[in-house]
Amino acid sequence: MFCRLRLSSCGCPIGVFHRKLSSAEVSTALRPFYFRVHPDLFGKYPEQRKINEISLQQLSALLEAQQSSRNIATPILPFYLRKNDMPDGQFELVKIKLDSNDLRETVVKVLNACDISTSYIDKIPRMKQDKGRLVREEFNEAYEKYKDEFDKATRMKRKVDEKKAITNVIDWISENSQQAKEKYESTQATRGQVKSLIEQLCKTYGIKEVKYDSGWNISHIRGALQSLTSMASQHPQHMDNLKDRTIALGQFTGVSLDGDVYLNIIDVRHDSLKKVSQEDSALTEIPQYEKALSSILRNIHICRRKFMPKVSAAQYCSHLRQLITSIGDFYGRGSKIPDTVPESLQKYEIVVEPEAGPLMVSPTGQFITPSSCPADELIAFIAKHLDDAMLLLTEYSINKHVEKALYKEVKERFQLLDLIKDDSITPGLMILCCQRLLTRIDTIDEKLRGNILYVTHYYSVLSEGVLCIPWNFK
């Protein structure tokens, strides 16, 4: 039990605060919330998915800090909620202001804002509090600046409204292909600068590769690379940590599960490079934890999905430990895996993700579990959905080869500069899209020639001249 004592002027304790909620208690309390806001539930709605992904990252950081008795400032967090009584495509937007340093109060505020019962939290006993101790902390200048920047970024999110009521992909491509080409040409100089900056960094510091998410504006990429170049000249002693490494620019700072060094594109800081060696030590532990988890789940294959939430190697180790402990306790209580489950699950795959996630079978047949999932729930879920998972796994193993062949054919026959797709577009969806494109080659061949085509869930022309079309276009 974790308590905080208030001392009198003589140094004697005169009051006791309530204990901290445990990680498991927080996860259990927030599970109904996660099932309403998790980004995977918004696959067809990229705006809402992105907003919820960013807000969940901010909330997770706040909860982790409060569990460690650290104070951090958090902006107002917007979340789109899925509700059963609302039509598909309609969501409720809530904005949650979390200005307390108390973990319990933060959890209650999140639940109340979403009209979710707090009965679970209310039943957890708390110790007597001193009056007047828990007061709202004033926000400092850093918070106000961050809040303003966050609100501004929210207002400037991608204008999906441009898609309007488009009913015919042929007409839309005819109307927008030239505009896309002109935008692509207009950013040629910026792309050249980005290429030059990357070559300079790789040559000067022995960096293996610099990559970035294609969803970022090319000007943002250039700005981040310029910041990294400037930082390198000011702190050359830290650049040794990047030798022979792949650098990735995104919304995440740390060493990824693949050993890539991620730098936050918005704020490239030299102190993040100091921690690379610390994160590297966690990388060496991951295979051991994955092997341990596999062995207690009948040799199931531990995997990672391409678009799983970004976590550092150290965080991933923590998630694996948490789930291993839960399953170990399950066996320790004398519980067993149901007899209907095969003695070996090595043909199946499971992905362990952060606490803020649903328990599900992915479209590619993988079991997706949050690290906080109770072992009895996880094992019961696996037992119930084995047939579904195997069907999807088999379908995926076939589709990925078909997708590769169709991808090559579409790119070559339309003479595209590039053909890319959103992470949420499964091989099955991409196959349907490519097949339908090929049936229209006589009418859109010349219009698409020389363009970059991005298969996603909406129509748009990005600032770099990328043509976005939904996979299920009409």
Last residue of one domain, picked from the residues 102, 123, 144: 123
Residue numbers of the domain that contains 78: 23-123
Same domain flag for 291 and 390: yes
Q: What is the pLDDT of residue 430?
A: 92
Residue 391 and residue 452 in one domain: no
Looking at the structure, do residues 379 and 300 belong to the same domain, yes or no?
A: yes
**What six digits make up the tokens of 244?**
């022979």
Buried b (16+ CB within 10 A) or exposed e, 389-420: beebbebbeebeeebeebbeebbeebebeebb
Domain closes at, from 55, 89, 123: 123
- 386 in the same domain as 286: yes
Q: pLDDT tens-digit profile of 324-361?
A: 999 999 999 999 999 999 999 999 999 998 776 788 99
Is position 69 within any domain?
A: yes
Other C-beta atoms lying within 10 Å of the C-beta of residue 266: 16
Q: Which of 469, 373, 464, 391 is nearest to 429 (CA)?
A: 469
82 & 39 share domain: yes
Same domain, residue pair 377 and 300: yes
Tell me the per-residue pLDDT of 179-236, one tens digit each, with 9 for 90 and over.
999 988 988 899 899 999 999 999 998 999 998 876 677 888 888 888 888 888 888 8
Q: Is residue 257 part of a domain?
A: no
Measured CA to CA, the distance from residue 112 to residue 115 in angstroms comes to 5
One domain for residues 446 and 381: no
| Position 143 pLDDT exceeds 80 | no
Nearest to 184, CA basis, from 409, 411, 413, 416 = 416
Residue 370 lies in a domain: yes
My answer on whether 354 and 430 are in the same domain is no
Say yes or no: 430 and 366 in one domain. no
Q: What's the angle, vertex CA 86, arms to CA 80 and CA 88, rounded to 5? A: 80
Q: Do 27 and 111 share a structural domain?
A: yes
* pLDDT value for 8: 39
Report yes or no on 90 lying in a domain.
yes
Q: According to the model, what pLDDT value does residue 214 have?
A: 62
Computed over every residue of the chain, the mean pLDDT equals 81
For residues 371 and 343, is the Cβ–Cβ distance under 8 A? no
List the 460-461 sheet strands across, edge first: 418-421, 452-456, 466-470, 460-461
> Is the domain of 383 the same as that of 439?
no
Q: What does the pLDDT read at residue 151?
A: 53
- Percentage of the chain modeled with pLDDT above 70: 82
CB 465 within 8 A of CB 181: yes
In a domain, 56, yes or no: yes
| Domains contained in the chain, number | 3
Q: Residue 93 is encoded by which pair of tokens?
A: 């937007």
- Do 385 and 429 lie in one domain? The reply is no
Which of 347, 370, 396 lies at the terminal end of a domain, its last residue?
A: 396
**Closest alpha carbon to 361 in 329, 327, 395, 399:** 395
DSSP state of 75: P
- Measure the CA dihedral 302/304/309/310, to 10°: 110
What global pTM score does this model have?
0.58
Element spanning 239, H or E: none
User: Is position 95 within any domain?
Assistant: yes
Q: Is residue 41 part of a domain?
A: yes
Residue 406 in domain? yes
Q: Cα–Cα distance between 185 and 179 in angstroms, integer? A: 10
Name the nearest CA neighbour of 421 among 471, 460, 459, 462. 471
